[in-house]
């Protein structure tokens, strides 16, 4: 609000928006994977007859429409949660058939389809990480958040923690000198919230919420700085080793066609097939080799205590794998890179968690070998 009365049009991010985006993102990825897996296991069945074919893109469009209607009709928090889940499922069902949209022959298995789906997923992940960044919270934004939280009062569902958050936001706005109108409104809301008219409920956690909180607390306690470093070293070591084996296997099976040994579990016939241009094959091998080398360098740096540099090169290797290598693998052999992609995302999450938890404050950068000696057993 401004003293000159000019309306303010700048957007205000919804509290918890990043959780809703993450929920939609997970729903999207899970839908594509489950849909492809189901169709593969069942032999690609079709709903329809000799004239009609009810493709799952139609169900995706229907769910997207429902997801758009719910927040238009309802203001409750459950409406936004439902919209996030349904929109993710709808987009997953829709984009899974992208091969049919971009080809004259309606080719579901068109090779670029998988990289397009994966690329769209990566862009969504990038968007999610962007909105996770903390931004300056003005009194106007804080009051927006407080008014959003007041919905719990209307639903008789305000618990002690929610009330504490509301009181903190309103007290901060009430003390502002730059915008007295907002301060006055916050002060009046504060008086109401502190009155006996406001009912505070005792929050009873259901089984799943309690189970989730227990798991998160266990992970928080278990993954100490030392354990997390060891986990990163092991995961990067496995990635480096498998990348080396994959590079050697790719070259042998491509150029020595009489080689009789079975394929490694993480390779498929499509990845070594000579039907693809040699330049694409060599690019794929080069990126795989670079991923292995960078992962090895990162784990060595982390192992000897040079964490900042090690995490940097680990992040570079993950970016290389997620944005370059996997796109080529998805193109050559559709969806064969799903497992390796999930593995790399686990490493990304560990890197992000390690930086947030242990590198914000000065941390002990002793090599793992010395830490082992200092903490026997």
Q: What is the mean pLDDT of the chain?
A: 83
Residue 92 lies in a domain: yes
Residue with tokens 């927040």: 71
313 with 359, same domain: the answer is yes
237 with 288, same domain: the answer is yes
Residue 148 lies in a domain: yes
Residue 234 lies in a domain: yes
298 with 365, same domain: the answer is yes
pLDDT at 270: 59
- Tell me the three state secondary structure of residue 14: coil
Rounded to whole angstroms, the Cα distance separating 342 from 267 reads 16
For the chain, report the end-to-end CA distance as a whole number of angstroms: 62
- Whole-angstrom CA distances from 180 to 60, 146, 167, 168, 184 are 48, 17, 18, 18, 6
Among candidate residues 102, 131, 160, the one where a domain is terminated: 131
Most confident residue range from 26-40, 45-59, 321-335: 26-40
For residue 238, pLDDT over 90 is answered with: yes
Please count the helices (runs of H) and the strands (runs of E) in the chain.
17, 0
What's the whole-number mean pLDDT along residues 305-320?
91
Cβ-proximal residues to 101 (8 Å cutoff; 6+ apart), any chain: none
Instruction: Kindly calculate the radius of gyration of the chain based on its CA atoms and give it in whole angstroms.
Output: 26
pTM (2 decimals)? Answer: 0.74
pLDDT at 373: 43
Residue 1 lies in a domain: no
Long-range contacts of 244-253 (CB under 8 A, 24+ apart): 244/289, 244/292, 246/288, 247/285, 247/288, 247/289, 247/292, 250/281, 250/284, 250/285, 250/288, 251/285
161 with 236, same domain: the answer is no
259 with 112, same domain: the answer is no
Cα dihedral 341/343/348/350 (nearest 10): 170
- Whole-angstrom CA distances from 157 to 105, 154, 169, 204 are 55, 8, 18, 11
Write out the E strands in 94-159: none
Among candidate residues 92, 115, 131, the one where a domain is terminated: 131
For residue 265, pLDDT over 60 is answered with: no
Query: How far is Cα of residue 225 from the mean position of the Cα atoms in its chain?
Result: 23
For residue 273, pLDDT over 80 is answered with: no
Rounded to whole angstroms, the Cα distance separating 55 from 22 reads 27
Residue 240 lies in a domain: yes
Residue 37 lies in a domain: yes
Query: How far is Cα of residue 111 from the mean position of the Cα atoms in its chain?
Result: 25
Please answer whether residues 325 and 288 qualify as being in contact, where contact means their C-beta atoms are separated by less than 8 angstroms: yes
For residue 375, pLDDT over 60 is answered with: no
Closest CA to 259 of 247, 245, 267, 249: 249
308 with 367, same domain: the answer is yes
94 with 238, same domain: the answer is no
Residue 203 lies in a domain: no
For residue 370, pLDDT over 50 is answered with: no
Q: How many residues does the chain have?
A: 377
Domain that holds residue 274: 219-374
- Tell me the three state secondary structure of residue 370: helix
pLDDT at 278: 76
Token couple for 217:
């607390």
24 with 98, same domain: the answer is yes
Mean pLDDT is lowest, of 182-191, 239-248, 249-258, 285-294, for 249-258
For residue 236, pLDDT over 50 is answered with: yes
51 with 181, same domain: the answer is no
Q: How many domains does the chain have?
A: 3
| 321 DSSP 8-state letter | I
- Tell me the three state secondary structure of residue 365: coil
Residue with tokens 């000019």: 6
- Tell me the three state secondary structure of residue 201: strand
249 with 331, same domain: the answer is yes
Task: pLDDT band for 372, please (50, 70, 90 cuts).
Answer: very low
Closest CA to 33 of 346, 334, 350, 343: 334
Rounded to whole angstroms, the Cα distance separating 292 from 236 reads 9
Among candidate residues 178, 193, 208, the one where a domain is terminated: 193
Residue 357 lies in a domain: yes
106 with 151, same domain: the answer is no
pLDDT at 197: 84
273 with 351, same domain: the answer is yes
Token couple for 204:
């009873």
Q: What angle do CA 95, 339, 35 make, to 5 degrees?
A: 35
Q: How confident is the model over 150-182, as pLDDT tens digits?
A: 888 888 888 888 888 888 889 888 888 888 888
């Amino acid at each position: 609000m401004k003293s000159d009365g000019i309306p303010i049009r700048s957007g205000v991010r919804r509290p918890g928006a990043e959780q809703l985006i993450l929920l939609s993102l997970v729903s999207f990825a899970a839908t594509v994977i489950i849909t492809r897996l189901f169709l593969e296991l069942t032999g690609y069945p079709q709903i329809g007859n000799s004239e009609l074919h009810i493709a799952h893109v139609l169900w995706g469009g229907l769910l997207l429409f429902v997801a758009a209607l719910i927040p238009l009709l309802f203001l409750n928090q459950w409406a936004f949660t439902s919209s996030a889940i349904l929109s993710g499922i709808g987009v997953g069902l829709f984009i899974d058939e992208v091969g049919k949209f971009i080809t004259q022959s309606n080719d579901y298995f068109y090779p670029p389809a998988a990289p397009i789906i994966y690329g769209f997923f990566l862009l969504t992940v990038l968007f999610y990480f962007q909105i996770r960044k903390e931004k300056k919270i003005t009194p106007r934004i804080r009051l927006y958040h407080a008014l959003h939280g007041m919905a719990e009062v209307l639903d008789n569902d305000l618990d002690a923690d929610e009330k504490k958050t509301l009181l903190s936001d309103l007290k901060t706005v009430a003390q502002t000198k730059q915008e007295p109108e907002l301060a006055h409104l916050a002060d009046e809301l504060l008086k109401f919230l502190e009155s006996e008219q406001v009912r505070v409920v005792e929050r009873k956690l259901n089984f799943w919420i309690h189970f989730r909180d227990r798991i998160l607390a266990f992970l928080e306690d278990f993954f100490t700085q030392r354990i997390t470093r060891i986990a990163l070293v092991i995961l990067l070591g496995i990635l480096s080793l498998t990348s080396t084996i994959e590079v050697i296997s790719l070259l042998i099976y491509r150029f020595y066609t009489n080689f009789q040994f079975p394929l490694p579990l993480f390779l498929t016939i499509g990845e070594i097939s000579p039907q693809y241009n040699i330049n694409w094959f060599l690019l794929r091998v080069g990126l795989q080799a670079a991923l292995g080398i960078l992962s090895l360098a990162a784990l060595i740096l982390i192992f000897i205590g040079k964490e900042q540099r090690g995490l940097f090169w680990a992040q570079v290797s993950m970016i290389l794998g997620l944005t370059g290598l996997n796109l080529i693998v998805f193109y050559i052999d559709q969806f064969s890179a799903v497992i390796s992609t999930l593995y790399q995302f686990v490493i990304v999450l560990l890197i992000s968690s390690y930086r947030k938890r242990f590198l914000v404050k000065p941390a002990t950068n002793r090599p793992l070998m010395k830490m082992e000696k200092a903490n026997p057993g």
